[in-house]
C-alpha cells in the first residue's frame, strides 16, 4: 500500500459488476494510485472481473469491511474469523493488497458499557486466526480505530497498537482515519504518534465526512506528523456523499455532507493532494 | 446568561442536597459566574435548598436536560412539553436563568433514517408550549444541537435556527457546544455564524470532552468569531470525567477523557479563560 | 471596493502600457472582479490607456503605493500630501476606486526607535490633506498597517484605527494584510476585530508571501472573522514571486517564495476562493 | 542540551554580576532545566561567578549571540571566527553547554540583494574555524535561521542544513525559532522536517514575540512534529518584553508585545509546558 487513493463510495457502495465498471475507469481518470473497495457482501463479488478491470486501468486496490452483528468478534470469534477469511479470499482473488476496516467488530457496535476483557480476548482470537490466513494469502491485514459512537472497542491509535500487541501477530497493521482521530485523539498528531510502529494506511476524511479542506480537521498537523514519521503507506480520500440507507445508521449520515460529487472531487481532492505535496508525502 | 461558568458534571451528576452542597461552594472557589445543573430528575431536586446555596455563594445557574425516551418530542409532543414544563418550574424555583440542552429530544435518539416532517412538526408543537411556559416564568429556553450520533434531528447551528423559526416563538435561544460543532460544522466559525441571531449560550467542550486546550477544537477561530458577532451570552466549560454509567451510553464515554479533575480545572480552565481574554470576551 | 481581486505584481511591477496590456486581459481571464495596481511612478502612467483597458475587460481597480524616502510623512508631511494627491489624480484618471497602501510612510522606514508624537502629528497632517483631496475626487483613501520590520509606525489594526481617529477624517479606511497580521496580531482575528469599523480592503497574502494555503496563516479564523463582522470590502490575493530588485529590499524577498506563477494561480487562487465561499464571503 | 529552559531576556539583557544574581535564582524558581544567556559582550562577563551560581541553583546554560557589524562573517570571516572563539571560551568557562544564535552574521544584516556565493564562502570559513574550536572545548555550536528582515543569509531550516553541509563540520547543530519559522517556513512542521538531522535546540517564541499561546503560531503542529522526529534537544521559551533600545532596532520591537512579565511567565510558560506534555516531549 502506497500512494494516493480514494474510497469507491464516491461512485458506488454496491460492488457488483456494474459498480466496478462505473468506478474503476472513473477513479483512473482522477489519476488514483489505488481504490478502496467496501466488501459488504464478499460472496457476491465477481473477483476475476474486478481483477481484470484493475489491471486494465493500472489501479491497485485495498478492501475494507465492518463485521455484521452475527459475526462480531467480541461475542462470536469463530464467526468473525470465518467471515474475515472468506473476505480475504475474495480480496486476494481480486488482486487486492489488503483487507482492513473495522475487522474487529461492527460499525455501530456498542454494549452500553466500557469494553471487557472477555470482549478483547475474543477479538484477539479472531484477529489471530485471520492474520494467519492473511499471511498465507500474502495480503496485508489491518484494523481501523473508529470513534466512540461507532464502536466502544477500539477508538484510538493507542488502543489499536495495544490490541495488535495483545494478538501478537506480526502482520497486522493500523489503519487510521482523520475523521475519527478528530474526535478521539488529543491532537491529531498524537494518534499518528501512537500508531506509528504499525501505521500503513490512513483515511483522509474531513471532520463532517464532507469535502476535505472545508471542515475542522487540522490537515497541516496531520501531514506534518505523517511526513515526520516517514509514513510511506496509502493515503485514501474518503467522503460519504453517496450512502445507502442501510449503512447510514451506523455512520449516522442524515443530511448531505457536501454539495455534490463535483465539489468533493473538484475542490477536496486537489486540496488534499496539494497539502500532501506541501509536506512532501507524494 | 453571561460570564464564564462550568457544568456541574465536574463534581456530580446527581443533583441531590449532598451534590449541591459539594458543588456550589467548589464552583464558587473557582470564581465562576454561573453553574450549569443537569436536571435529570427534576422532581427529586430540593429547589429552595439550591436557591439558598446559590445566593449564599453569589452564583447564577442554568439548568439543562435531554428528554427520556418516553417523552421524546418527535413522537410524544405532549409528554415532552409536560416534561419540560415540570423541569422549568423546578429551574425557576431554584432561581435558574434558563432551561436548555437537548430539550427537543433524547441524547441517543436515532431512528436510523433522516428526520421526517412529522417528527419536526411534533417537536415544534412541544417547543411552542414549553416556550410559552418559559415566558410566563420569566426564564430563558434553549435548544442545543448535538452531533449526528447523539441525535438525528438537530445537528447544526443552521438546523437550530431553522427549527426556532419554524416554531415561531420569540423566546427560544440557541445553545451551541464546541464538541458537537467540531464534528458537524464546516469550520467551527460557521456554526456560530448560522446561529448568531439566536445564540445566547455556548458549551466550551474539547473535541474528546477532555481537558480544554488539549484536543482538536480550533479555539482561536471559535473565540474570534464569538467576539466578532458581539456574543454576550454564557460561556460554560464542559468536560466529562465523572460520568454515571447510565449516561455514558448516550454520550459514548468508554475511557477517561482526562487524567484527572485537577488537569481539567488546573490546565483546561485557565486555558479557556486566557483564550477568552485574548479575544476580549471576558 | 468589493469582490475578489489580485495584486498585479503577479504579472508586472512596472505599470507602463506594455505592463497594463499584459496584465489586464490576464486578470480578466481569471475572472477577477478587480485588480490592484502599484503606483510606483504615478506620473509615468498612461491613465486613459489603463482606463480604456479596464473598461474593455470589465475590471475595477484599486491603486496602492508606499512613499519614497524624500516624502515620508513623518518628516515631510507636505511632500507626502503632494505625493499622495498626485497619485490620487492619476488613480482617479484611471477610474480606480481607491488609493491605499503604506500611504503614511515608507516600506522599510525605521528610525531605530519607537514612533514619536511628532512623527504621528506630521503623518496626521499629511493624511488629513490627502483625505480631503480624495473626497473631492470621489475615491476612497486607505492606510495599510505593515509589520515591524517594514515600518515602525503602524503595525496593527488597532494602531490604524487610532491613527484614523487622530486624523479625524471620515473617509479614510483600513486596509489589512494577512501576511503582516500573521506577525503582528494576537490571533489574526483580533486585527480584524480592532479594525472592523474602518475595514474595507484586505490583502490575502500567505505567511511567506508565497502560495496561499501553503503557509502558516490561519485562513479559517481569518475568513470566519471577516464573515462575522459582515465584511463587504475587497479581497485581494497578493503573492510576491515577481519582485523587482529595487523593491526586494523593503520587502526582504531573497528567494523564490513559490515554485511558479502557475502554482500560485493554479493552487493558491482556488484555495482562497474555496475558503471564501466556505465562509460565504463570495 | 535537553529539557525546558528560558531565555534570560525575561530578566535582563545585561549579563553582569547583578544581572546573573537576579536571573539565575529567579529562573530556578520556575523549575527551569536551563537558561539561555545572551553573550552580547563576552569579555565583560564574570564567568566563574556565573558558573558558581548555575551550580548552586542546579541550572544548565546555553549561550547565544549575533555578530557585531565589524565581525560579520560574510565580509570578515577572520573577525567572525575570532569573535566566536572568544565567546566560546567565555561560554565554556561559565560551564555552558553550547554557543548558538546568529553565529554566522548580524541581527539586522542585509545587503539589499540576495546572498552571494562569496558571502556563503566566507561564512563557511568562519564557521569551520569556530566549529573546530568548539570541538576542542567540548561545547556544542549552533546556527539559528532568522527571518528575512533580520538577515538575508539563513532564513529557513533547509538553508541551515545546506550551510552545515557546505561547512562540512560534524559538530554544528541547527537551532530553530518558532517566531522565525512562522514567517519563513511552508508550514511550521516543514522547518522541523528540513532541519531534523541537525536539530538540537528550539526557541519557543510566539508570532509577535509576546505571550506564548496568544499569537498565530501553530503550536500543535510544532510539538507534534518535534515529537514525531524524536526531538530530544532543548526547548527554550523566548519573549521580548524587556528589550534594551540598542537591541530593539535589529529585532524591530517598537511596542510592548505582552502586558507584563507576569502574563508571559504566568500564562505563556504553563501553556508551553502543557502543550509539550500533551505531545509527550517533557
Compute the distance between CA of residue D193 and CA of residue D201 in angstroms, rounded to an integer.
14
Place of cell 505584481: C9
Residues of chain A positioned with their CB less than 8 A from the CB of C265: none
> Given B119, B144, B150, B214, which residue is catalytic?
B144
Within a 10 A sphere around the Cβ of B70, how many other Cβ atoms?
11
Reading the block at residue B278, the C-alpha cell is 485574548
Tens digits of pLDDT across chain B (282 residues): 899 999 999 999 889 999 999 999 999 999 999 999 999 999 999 999 999 999 999 999 999 999 999 999 999 999 999 999 999 999 999 999 999 999 999 999 999 889 999 999 999 999 999 999 999 999 999 999 999 999 999 999 999 999 999 999 999 999 999 999 999 999 999 999 999 999 999 999 999 999 999 999 999 999 999 999 999 999 999 998 867 666 777 788 888 899 899 999 999 999 999 999 999 999
Q: Which domain holds residue A54?
A: 3-278
Among C144, C153, C147, smallest CA distance to C121 is for C153
Beta strands at A34-38 and A199-204: parallel, antiparallel or unpaired: unpaired
Q: Is the pLDDT of residue D246 over 70?
A: no
CB C1 within 8 A of CB C98: yes
Domain containing residue C29: CATH number: 3.20.20.150
Of the given ranges (A152-156, C11-15, C251-255), which has the lowest mean pLDDT?
Answer: C251-255
Listing DSSP states for C51-79 in one string gives: HHHHHHTT-EEEEEEE--GGG-TTT-HHH
Chain D: touching chains (3 or more CB pairs < 8 Å): A, B, C
Place of cell 477561530: B221
User: How many angstroms away from the CA of A217 is the closest CA of chain C?
Assistant: 11
The answer to whether C115 contacts D218, with C-beta atoms less than 8 Å apart, is: no
Residues of chain A positioned with their CB less than 8 A from the CB of D192: 224, 228
CB A163 within 8 A of CB A121: no
Give every CB contact of residue C151 below 8 A, 6+ residues apart in sequence: C102, C105, C106, C107, C108, C109, C110
In this prediction, what percent of chain C has a pLDDT beyond 70? 99
Instruction: Report the number of distinct structural domains present in chain C.
Output: 1
Within a 10 A sphere around the Cβ of B38, how many other Cβ atoms?
18
CB B104 within 8 A of CB B143: yes
Compute the distance between CA of residue B154 and CA of residue B163 in angstroms, rounded to an integer.
8
User: How many angstroms away from the CA of B45 is the closest CA of chain A?
Assistant: 27
Reading the block at residue A243, the C-alpha cell is 450512502
With helix as H, strand as E and coil as C, how does chain A read?
A: CCEEEEEHHHCCCCCCHHHHHHHHHHHHHCCCCEEEEECCCHHHCCHHHHHHHHHHCCCEEEEEEECCHHHCCCCCHHHHHHHHHHHHHHHHHHCCCEEEEECCCCCCECCCCCCCHHHHHHHHHHHHHHHHHHHHHCCEEEECCCCCCCECCCCCHHHHHHHHHHHCCCCEEEEEEHHHHHHHCCCHHHHHHHHCCCEEEEEECCCCCCCCCCCCCCHHHHHHHHHHCCCCCEEEECCCCCCCHHHHHHHCCCCCCCCCHHHHHHHHHHHHHHHHHHCCCC
The answer to whether B216 contacts A187, with C-beta atoms less than 8 Å apart, is: yes
Closest chain B residue to the Cα of A218, Cα to Cα:
B216
What pLDDT sits at residue C246? 67
Mean pLDDT of D167-188: 97
Compute the distance between CA of residue C184 and CA of residue C154 in angstroms, rounded to an integer.
10
Place of cell 489580485: C6
Compute the distance between CA of residue D253 and CA of residue D242 in angstroms, rounded to an integer.
10
Closest chain C residue to the Cα of A267, Cα to Cα:
C274
| CB pairs A-B closer than 8 Å | 91
What pLDDT sits at residue C199? 98
The answer to whether A149 contacts B152, with C-beta atoms less than 8 Å apart, is: no
Contact residues, chain A to chain C, C-beta under 8 Å = 213-214, 267, 270-271, 274, 278
Q: Considering CB atoms only, which of B183, B215, B248 is closest to A208?
A: B183
Compute the distance between CA of residue B188 and CA of residue C221 in angstroms, rounded to an integer.
9
Beta strands at B234-237 and C3-7: parallel, antiparallel or unpaired: unpaired
| CB pairs B-C closer than 8 Å | 74
What pLDDT sits at residue A252? 81
What is the rounded (10 degree) CA torsion for D105, D108, D114, D117? -10
The answer to whether C186 contacts D218, with C-beta atoms less than 8 Å apart, is: no
Contact residues, chain A to chain B, C-beta under 8 Å = 110, 112-115, 147-150, 152, 155, 181-188, 207-208, 210, 214-218, 245, 248-249, 252-255
Compute the distance between CA of residue D237 and CA of residue D265 in angstroms, rounded to an integer.
10
Closest chain A residue to the Cα of C279, Cα to Cα:
A214
Listing DSSP states for C105-160 in one string gives: S-TTB--SS---HHHHHHHHHHHHHHHHHHHHHT-EEEE----TTTBSS--SHHHH
What pLDDT sits at residue B246? 67
pTM (2 d.p.): 0.97
Q: Considering CB atoms only, which of D148, D150, D187 is closest to C216?
A: D187
The answer to whether B113 contacts A248, with C-beta atoms less than 8 Å apart, is: yes
Residue B236 phi/psi, 5° resolution? -120, 115
Within a 10 A sphere around the Cβ of C17, how many other Cβ atoms?
12
Reading the block at residue B187, the C-alpha cell is 469550520
User: How many angstroms away from the CA of A280 is the closest CA of chain D?
Assistant: 9
Compute the distance between CA of residue B144 and CA of residue B148 in angstroms, rounded to an integer.
13
User: How many angstroms away from the CA of D89 is the closest CA of chain C?
Assistant: 32
Give every CB contact of residue A170 below 8 A, 6+ residues apart in sequence: none
Handedness of CA D167, D173, D177, D178 (dihedral sign): positive
Residues of chain D positioned with their CB less than 8 A from the CB of A274: none
The answer to whether C207 contacts D182, with C-beta atoms less than 8 Å apart, is: yes
Enumerate the active-site residues of A. 144, 238
3-state secondary structure of C203: strand
What pLDDT sits at residue A233? 98
Enumerate the active-site residues of C. 144, 238
Compute the distance between CA of residue B72 and CA of residue B151 in angstroms, rounded to an integer.
11
What is the rounded (10 degree) CA torsion for D183, D184, D186, D189? -90
Cα→Cα distances B141→B84, B145, B162, Å? 10, 14, 16
Give every CB contact of residue B127 below 8 A, 6+ residues apart in sequence: B73, B81, B103, B104, B143, B163, B167, B169, B172
CB C272 within 8 A of CB C265: no
Mean pLDDT of D16-23: 96
Q: Which of C224, C266, C274, C277 to mutate to test the interface with A (most CBs of A within 10 A)?
A: C274
Compute the distance between CA of residue D82 and CA of residue D91 in angstroms, rounded to an integer.
14
CB A222 within 8 A of CB A185: no
Handedness of CA C124, C129, C133, C135 (dihedral sign): positive
Chain B: touching chains (3 or more CB pairs < 8 Å): A, C, D
User: Average pLDDT for consecutive 10-residue bins of chain A (282 residues)?
Assistant: 94 93 97 97 96 98 98 98 98 98 96 94 98 98 97 97 97 98 97 98 98 98 98 96 72 87 96 98 94
Residues of chain C positioned with their CB less than 8 A from the CB of D112: 248-249
User: How many angstroms away from the CA of D178 is the closest CA of chain A?
Assistant: 15
Compute the distance between CA of residue C80 and CA of residue C123 in angstroms, rounded to an integer.
8
Compute the distance between CA of residue B137 and CA of residue A152 in angstroms, rounded to an integer.
42
Mean pLDDT of D105-111: 94
Q: Is the pLDDT of residue C121 over 90?
A: yes
Compute the distance between CA of residue A88 and CA of residue A80 in angstroms, rounded to an integer.
12
CB B4 within 8 A of CB B32: yes
Q: What residues pair up with A199 in beta bridges, in sequence order?
A: A174
Mean pLDDT of D102-121: 95
The answer to whether A280 contacts D193, with C-beta atoms less than 8 Å apart, is: yes
The answer to whether A183 contacts B218, with C-beta atoms less than 8 Å apart, is: no
Contact residues, chain A to chain D, C-beta under 8 Å = 186-190, 192-193, 196, 218, 220-221, 223-225, 227-229, 278-280
Mean pLDDT of C146-174: 97
The answer to whether C218 contacts D217, with C-beta atoms less than 8 Å apart, is: no
Within a 10 A sphere around the Cβ of C128, how many other Cβ atoms?
16
pLDDT per position as a tens digit, D191-228: 999 999 999 999 999 999 999 999 999 999 999 999 99
Among C180, C223, C137, C203, smallest CA distance to C1 is for C203
CB A147 within 8 A of CB A178: no
Q: What residues pair up with D61 in beta bridges, in sequence order?
A: D35
Q: What single-letter DSSP state applies at residue D85?
A: H
What pLDDT sits at residue A241? 81
Give every CB contact of residue C163 below 8 A, 6+ residues apart in sequence: C104, C120, C123, C124, C127, C143, C154
User: How many angstroms away from the CA of A185 is the closest CA of chain D?
Assistant: 11
Is residue D2 flagged as an active site residue?
no
Compute the distance between CA of residue D64 and CA of residue D88 in angstroms, rounded to an integer.
10
Compute the distance between CA of residue B68 and CA of residue C104 in angstroms, rounded to an integer.
64
Within a 10 A sphere around the Cβ of D107, how many other Cβ atoms?
20
Compute the distance between CA of residue D195 and CA of residue C105 in angstroms, rounded to an integer.
38
Place of cell 429551574: B91
The answer to whether B228 contacts C279, with C-beta atoms less than 8 Å apart, is: no
CB B201 within 8 A of CB B175: yes
Closest chain C residue to the Cα of D188, Cα to Cα:
C216
Q: Is the pLDDT of residue C188 over 80?
A: yes
Compute the distance between CA of residue B104 and CA of residue B163 in angstroms, rounded to an integer.
10
Amino acid at each position: 500500500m502506497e500512494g494516493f487513493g480514494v474510497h469507491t463510495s464516491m461512485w458506488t457502495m454496491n460492488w457488483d459488476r456494474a459498480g466496478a465498471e462505473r468506478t474503476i475507469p472513473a477513479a483512473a481518470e482522477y489519476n488514483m494510485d489505488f481504490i478502496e473497495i467496501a466488501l459488504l457482501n464478499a460472496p457476491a463479488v465477481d473477483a476475476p472481473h474486478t481483477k481484470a478491470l484493475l489491471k486494465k486501468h493500472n489501479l491497485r486496490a485495498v478492501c475494507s469491511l465492518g463485521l455484521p452483528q452475527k459475526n462480531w468478534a467480541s461475542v462470536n470469534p469463530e464467526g468473525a474469523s470465518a467471515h474475515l477469511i472468506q473476505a480475504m479470499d475474495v480480496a486476494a482473488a481480486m488482486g487486492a493488497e489488503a483487507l482492513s476496516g473495522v475487522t474487529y467488530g461492527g460499525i455501530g457496535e456498542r454494549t452500553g458499557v466500557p469494553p471487557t476483557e472477555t470482549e478483547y480476548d475474543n477479538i484477539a482470537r479472531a484477529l489471530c486466526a485471520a492474520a494467519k490466513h492473511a499471511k498465507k494469502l500474502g495480503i496485508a491485514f489491518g484494523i481501523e480505530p473508529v470513534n466512540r459512537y461507532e464502536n466502544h472497542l477500539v477508538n484510538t491509535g493507542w488502543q489499536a497498537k495495544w490490541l495488535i500487541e495483545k494478538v501478537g501477530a506480526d502482520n497486522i497493521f493500523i489503519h487510521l482515519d482523520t475523521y475519527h482521530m478528530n474526535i478521539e485523539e488529543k491532537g491529531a498528531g498524537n494518534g499518528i504518534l501512537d500508531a506509528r510502529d504499525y501505521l500503513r494506511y490512513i483515511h483522509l476524511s474531513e471532520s463532517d465526512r464532507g469535502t476535505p479542506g472545508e471542515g475542522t480537521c487540522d490537515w497541516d498537523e496531520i501531514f506534518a506528523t505523517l511526513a515526520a514519521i516517514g509514513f510511506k503507506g496509502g493515503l485514501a480520500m474518503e467522503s460519504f456523499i453517496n450512502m445507502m440507507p442501510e449503512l447510514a445508521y451506523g455512520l449516522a449520515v442524515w443530511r448531505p455532507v457536501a454539495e455534490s460529487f463535483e465539489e468533493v472531487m473538484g475542490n477536496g481532492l486537489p486540496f488534499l493532494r496539494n497539502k500532501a505535496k506541501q509536506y512532501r508525502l507524494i
